[in-house]
Amino acid sequence: MSGLIGASSSAAAKRAALRAGLDSGRLQRLPGAFSPLVAKAVAEVGFEGVYVSGAALSADLGLPDIGLTTLTEVATRGAQIAGATDLPTLIDADTGFGEPLNAARTVAMLEDAGLAGCHLEDQVNPKRCGHLDGKCVVSTADMVKRLRAAVSARCDPNFIICARTDAAGVEGVSAAIDRAHAYADAGADMIFTEALAEVADFERFRAAVDIPLLANMTEFGKSALLTASQLGAIGYNAVIYPVTTLRLAMFAIEAGLREIDSAGTQSGLLDRMQHRSGLYRLLRYADYNDFDTETYNFTLEETNHGRADH
């Protein structure tokens, strides 16, 4: 039954795997998953981890990414996604949902929910999407307090606490690097360098910062879309593709709905759909059937009176 309903690896094992991956010298690729089913597809293709984007999670709830989601919503959805595969899952924890004490509670809840790590950002609460203009960042001292509270709350030292800095677009890359040093000193395991514009900016961060770095390759944003090979060559340790799967899905959904509306049938869309057999493979229908057969393999015998024995 192990690995059939839920993952076969423990949360602790997944956290250790993420920690080892970041130290391996190989770029860890974490596509965004907005549902457990998408996480299963990420695992099937062979990626190293799963990412839960705050932007995708809020969009899936029909909300903009401006800090409207709650810790309970994020932890609940994160637990569902993290439990769907054996891959480690990193989740977006926004600003920690409040003051430093809230950030501590956020880490405790996310660790209990089975996540392998989270990132906290240095924006003013409530935050906004990192690739929008008009962002505001808290002082370095305030973010250090946020991070120290978060680090103090974790039980498993392998739970990754990543510090995201949005300062590059507000104060400049040099200031963002200075913040990264302070965040590392506060106990951050990794720095998320948000909204860097040029390859040279990524290279500057790598040359200046000693701890693991995470790149955000989101579409239609401020950053050039570097390849995994490019990021690996620069020396980045992890990359997320936060909203890619949601954008792919919504593009297909909108196009399909328009065709059904105009044509009156979905018959012309069949070659653009996941086949029933593909979904069944991903969900392991055959394994469930085998499990049922092995477990419920008894037969009822008739008594002389034609009634089943109890």
Q: Which residues are catalytic?
A: 51, 65, 92, 94, 119, 121, 129, 164, 194, 216
Element (H, E) at 164: strand 160-165
Three-state DSSP class for residue 299: coil
8 Å CB contact between 240 and 53? yes
218-245 burial, b if ≥16 CB within 10 A, otherwise e? beebbbeebebebbbebbbbbbbbbbbb
* Strand order through the sheet with 190-193: 28-31, 238-241, 213-216, 190-193, 160-165, 117-121, 89-92, 50-52
Element (H, E) at 282: helix 276-283
Task: Assign residue 85 a region (left: φ > 0; alpha: ψ between -120 and 50; beta: otherwise).
Answer: beta
User: Could you give the CA distance from residue 16 to residue 50 in angstroms, rounded to a whole number?
Assistant: 15
Q: Which amino acid is at 120?
A: L
